[in-house]
Structure 1
Amino acid sequence: MVVFVTGDHEYSSEATMPLIAAELEKNYGFRTIVLKSSPDHNSEENIPGLEALKEADLAVFFLRWRRLPADQVKHIEDYLKTGKPVVGFRTTTHAFNYPKGHELEKWNAFGEMAFNSPPGWGGKANHTHYGHESSTDVSVIPEASNNPILTGVDQKFHAKSWLYTTLPDYPSRGSDLLLMGHSVNPNKADAIDHPVAWTGENSYGGKVFMTTLGHPEDFNEEPFQRLVINAVHWAAGKPVPKKWNGAIEMNVPYRTPEN
């Protein structure tokens, strides 16, 4: 069972993740559940159904600045403590946004704890991006070219996502880099390339696949679709499919966040 946990103000994860889940069920034999913030994507304090993580073999997270209550976070923590695998997208680097002094403030570093990414937005790691007018040229890191997750993925493709910064200190814990991003039209003259996809082992001992891509238009790109399908197979301990069932119809809109 793959459980998708979604909730973000910006990238329409509550619409992209169900389409990925449906493809996994229809063509690749997975069982899936997609959980969403309630009553809508801007609802930061409620994702019903997280108890489904008790039955999950793989958890996929696409979150942004949630403030879930302790009982809901406990389901996430219990899953992580099993050492089971995780897949994460883009704003999951800053999945939580509890105020200073809150009993759950440590979860603001969820990205680092679970995905070897910078521990939240800004901060000591200066985790930021190169501006909403930019986009990203993506290329396979040569040393990773034989990684099964990259099966059938173009050596180079273009992503709508503006490039997130991670270097020099992240990804952490000896993560294996898969894809590098080069900012196109960055808002800073000193922009450098940063990894946009990696694998590794997190602080709980679980397998990790993380990508800082995830703009809805990225999901229209067949190389990115294939990367995602491959990564789910890899994380779930299944062979990456040699046969590709073709492009997935996505066409989900991007929305400017309300906060």
Structure 2
Amino acid sequence: METSFSQKQLDFPGRVCARLKDAREFRGVTLIELSRRTKISKKHLVAIEACKFDELPFATIYKKHFICSYAKALDLDPEPFLSQYIEEESPISATIPSPSKTLLYSQPTTLHHFFSKLPSLLRITVILIFAGAIVGYLFLQVRHILEPPMLTVYTPEDGFVTEGNSVLIQGRVEKEAELFINGIDIQHKEDGQFRETVPVSTGVNTLLIEAKKKHGRITTDTRHVIVQSNEQFSLVK
């Protein structure tokens, strides 16, 4: 009697979903009773029996667990059903895990496999984090391009008085920026330091120092240098 029953249960034809359903109906187990045994909702059991595995809101590893739980609840060996499910649903052949290890993740070989094994909510969270990081990076790059460049002038001080015919301008500028003094292009060092001697004449001289970036704003610093004759300079002293 037991041998006849064993042969009967191995004769269920078709896809794994049809075999599971036939096995349940053969044993006279209702979906409600099966749901109680497996802790799987009736709605999800109906989807499994209809081979609508894509409608289950779970990662593949949990779907495999459902197949094992379904078979065990009917006192069936889950290995053949799990093997058939993997063969039918997986585009790439996979090693059949033992029932005790069905909840373990296999090591992902590609980014696509990694995302496919994540629950939907976690997958969306990871995607949003990646998208946020990209947007943040682009925002910082655009802001860096559009914001005015750094410019610091050490000497001369505004209102500097001298009797010479030249004045030394020293300072530092953002290394990606171009530097101009009274419209003349001035070269600076790789670290942004600059040192330039500019001719001046008697009277008030206006020195306009400008830092420009290719697509950004301009930073300016204006210094006034007063050049006095030797006689005027002596009187001031």
TM-score, normalising length from structure 2? 0.24
Q: Comparing both chains, which one has the higher relative contact order based on Cα–Cα distances under 8 Å and sequence gaps of 6 or more?
A: 1
Instruction: Say which structure is richer in helix.
Output: 2
Task: Determine which structure has more spread, i.e. the larger CA radius of gyration.
Answer: 2
